[in-house]
C-alpha cells in the first residue's frame, strides 16, 4: 500500500472486500473491529496499534474492559471468529453483541459493532442485528445496519486505510480520556 490518499487498488472498501474474499490483490488490507473503534477514538492510537506496538495490558482501563467483556452475558453468548479478522459474540437469538464497560465512548463502540454487522453482510452474506451492551450501567441498545450506517462504516474503512498507510502517526491531540489510555505514556513521549 502506498501513502495516504494514493490507494494502489482504488477504493479501500473494495480492497478490503477483495482481501476478505481471498481475491487477487497486490497487497491485502484487513480491518478489525478494534481498529474501527480506535479510528473513532484516536487515530494516533490506531496508527500505533497498526504497527503492532503492544499496549499496556496491565492498564486499569484495559483490565476492567477485559473483565466486563469476559464475565457479562457469558451464559447467553458464544464467541465466533470469522476469517481470522473479526471475533464476534453471538447471542442465543442470533444477534451480534458488543459488550463495553461504560457508555462513555458509545460512538466508537457502535461503529465497532456496525463494522461487524457490515462485514457479516458484505463478506459472509449474513444479515444480523446487533446489541450494544453496557452491563455495569444496565444499558442495552439495538443497532441496525441502515444505509446511513453503511456510509459511516465505509467512510471509516477509508479513514482507517489512510491512517495505517501513513508513514508517520497523526499528531497527538489532548482528549479527555488520554490519561486512562493504554498508549498514554508511549504516545506523549514520542
CATH code of the domain in which 40 resides: 3.90.320.10
Which domain covers residue 113, as residue numbers?
12-180
Work out the average pLDDT over 5-29: 81
Domain assignment of residue 187, yes or no: no
Domain assignment of residue 168, yes or no: yes
Domain assignment of residue 54, yes or no: yes
| pLDDT score recorded for residue 1 | 34
| pLDDT score recorded for residue 190 | 63
Pick the residue with more confidence: 71 or 41? 41
| pLDDT score recorded for residue 117 | 96
* Minimum mean pLDDT range among 7-16, 25-34, 38-47: 7-16
pLDDT above 90 covers a percentage of the chain that reads 45
Q: How far apart are CA 119 and CA 105, in angstroms?
A: 22
| Grid cell at residue 117 | 454487522
Residue 164 buriedness (CB in 10 A; 0-12 / 13-18 / 19+):
buried
The tally of domains found in the chain comes to 1
Domain assignment of residue 135, yes or no: yes
Amino acid at each position: 500500500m502506498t501513502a495516504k490518499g494514493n490507494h494502489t487498488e482504488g477504493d479501500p472498501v473494495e480492497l478490503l472486500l477483495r482481501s476478505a474474499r481471498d481475491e487477487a490483490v497486490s497487497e491485502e488490507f484487513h480491518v478489525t473491529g478494534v481498529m474501527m473503534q480506535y479510528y473513532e477514538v484516536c487515530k494516533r492510537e490506531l496508527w500505533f496499534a497498526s504497527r503492532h506496538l503492544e499496549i499496556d495490558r496491565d492498564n486499569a482501563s484495559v483490565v476492567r474492559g477485559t473483565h466486563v467483556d469476559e464475565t457479562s452475558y457469558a451464559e447467553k453468548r458464544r464467541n465466533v471468529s470469522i476469517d481470522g479478522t473479526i471475533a464476534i459474540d453471538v447471542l442465543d437469538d442470533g444477534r451480534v453483541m458488543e459488550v463495553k464497560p461504560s457508555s462513555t465512548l458509545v460512538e466508537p463502540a457502535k461503529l465497532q459493532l456496525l463494522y461487524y454487522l457490515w462485514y457479516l453482510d458484505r463478506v459472509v452474506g449474513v444479515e444480523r442485528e446487533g446489541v450494544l451492551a453496557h452491563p455495569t450501567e444496565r444499558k442495552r441498545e439495538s443497532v441496525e445496519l441502515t444505509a446511513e450506517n453503511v456510509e459511516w462504516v465505509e467512510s471509516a474503512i477509508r479513514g482507517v486505510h489512510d491512517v495505517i498507510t501513513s508513514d508517520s502517526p497523526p499528531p497527538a491531540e489532548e482528549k479527555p480520556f488520554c490519561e486512562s489510555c493504554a498508549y498514554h505514556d508511549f504516545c506523549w513521549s514520542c
